[in-house]
Amino acid sequence: MTTKTILCLLTLMLPMVGVAGFAQTANSDGRTLLRAGHVLDVKTGSEAAAQTIVITGERITAIAPTASTPKLSGDTEIDLTRYTVMPGLIDVHTHITMATNFDPLFELTMTPGKEAIIGVENAKVTIEAGFTSVRNVGAGDFTDVALRDEIDAGHIPGPHMQVSGPALGITGGHCDENLLPVQYHVVGEGVADGIAAVQQKVRHNIKYGADVIKICATGGVLSKGDDPQASQYTREEMVAIVADAHRLGRKVAAHAHGAQGILWATEAGVDSIEHGSYLDDAGIKAMKEHGTYLVPTAYLIDWVQMNGKLPSFYQQKMIDVSAVEKKNAIKAIKAGVKVALGTDAAVYPHGLNAHEVDVYVNQFGMSALAGIQTGTVNAAALMGWSDRTGSLEIGKWADIIAINGDPLKDVKLLQKVAFVMKSGVVYKDETQKK
């Protein structure tokens, strides 16, 4: 069966497994009035009290003092007067169709059907954690494309998604399949070598639904036989990738640990550097000149050190990368490199995404507002969605979360979201619990 067929069958099964009624439209006929205790303006840090957010359909149509916004006939009210209301969070580096399982046998026995079902599970967990938009950067068999489409159709609970399909990489590199010996002749779906081949692969991924192009500019950690510090694609190959992607309206995210690969990818014009572990002064300078975003994926280091059980051929690479990644991220932030929140969720369990903000604030030294901005206005800008989400403004999607407390005083509160709305639809409401 195709992945699309599997997802459709799973959708039909949802009522049988107790997932029916996963969300409710706030008010399909009239306005919805969110009565907020405080509304956080993530651009300025102001927290206006006693405000009402007016929602019509999937969009915000007004934000005004509650005292001047009476309920009209046909309106629905949602009482969030005890909460701080803010825009839904955004994670620009997820792997929603993947699970936190590093056993090579698990990887080798993965099927499109299993990956699709894992994606359904994780999409629900992610939106209930307050992440109303994500960028999924790497999935097998275009399962993330099918998942995005089923979420958009309203069949499955989940965030807005930009998806990449299979990540592009070189033969034997981080994005190849390196676990099996030569007699099996297994090649990763995104493998392409040479300028003509990478151009074809970009076009292939776009043909089958990719919103963003993900490439592996260097080696990685959770892959066998490659070196995270070694560049993989040449500068010329990356120039060709970016040229085709940008011409066809897609941004490019580059997995890049090593300094040379970071520099080449930045000079080639990629839109974001993912991880950036061995980022040096030359790379920082180039990223600032090009306006390239850094996506640090930092909390995974803490989680893996506490909970991870990696095969031996991954373990030393994780130790080496973990020893340098945070200090280089701090250096880049102090130098003024733009940062967007990305987690690499799947390396640690989905739903813990907001822990990333805590790292930025309490380990990297960002202000609470700057940390929140990485997962709102900055992330929306990287995705090219600033006109749709990332802040609470008239005309944007009604992507809204509520926090019991002030996240500007304690960003850890973002880890306990009480209310989630996406495009005017309520996906989680624990505000009435005592």
Residues catalogued as catalytic: 214, 344
Beta bridge partners of 205: none
- d(C-alpha 252, C-alpha 237), whole Å: 13
Angle at which helix 312-322 crosses helix 299-307, to 10 degrees, equals 130
Which of 91, 170, 75 shows the shortest CA–CA distance to 378? 91
Cα separation of 221 and 157, whole Å? 31
Give the helix ranges, DSSP H, for 129-250: 143-152, 195-207, 235-247
Cα(424)–Cα(343) distance, integer angstroms:
26
Q: Distance between CA 269 and CA 251 in Å, rounded?
A: 10
What does the alpha-carbon distance between residue 279 and residue 327 come to, in Å, rounded to a whole number? 10
Please give the single-letter amino acid code of residue 191.
V
Which residues, including other chains, have CB under 8 Å from residue 392's CB and lie 6 or more apart?
Answer: 39, 40, 41, 42, 53, 60, 63, 85, 86, 87, 400
Question: Any residues with CB less than 8 A from the CB of 19 and at least 6 apart, and which?
Answer: 124, 157
Q: Is 207 buried (19+), middle (13-18) or exposed (0-12) by CB count in 10 A? A: exposed
In which residue are the tokens 């919103």 written?
Answer: 211
- Between CA 217 and CA 141 the distance in angstroms is 21
How many residues comprise the chain? 434
- Which secondary-structure segment (H or E) carries 283? helix 281-290
- Cα dist from 103 to 223, 279, 313, whole Å: 12, 29, 11
Do residues 55 and 77 make contact, with C-beta atoms less than 8 angstroms apart? Answer: no
Q: Which residues pair with 79 in a beta bridge?
A: 35
The rounded distance, in Å, linking the Cα atoms of 266 and 377 is: 22
* CA proximity to 371, closest of 333, 419, 332: 333
Given 3-state DSSP classes, what are the helix, strand and coil percentages for the chain, each rounded to the nearest 5?
Answer: 35, 25, 40
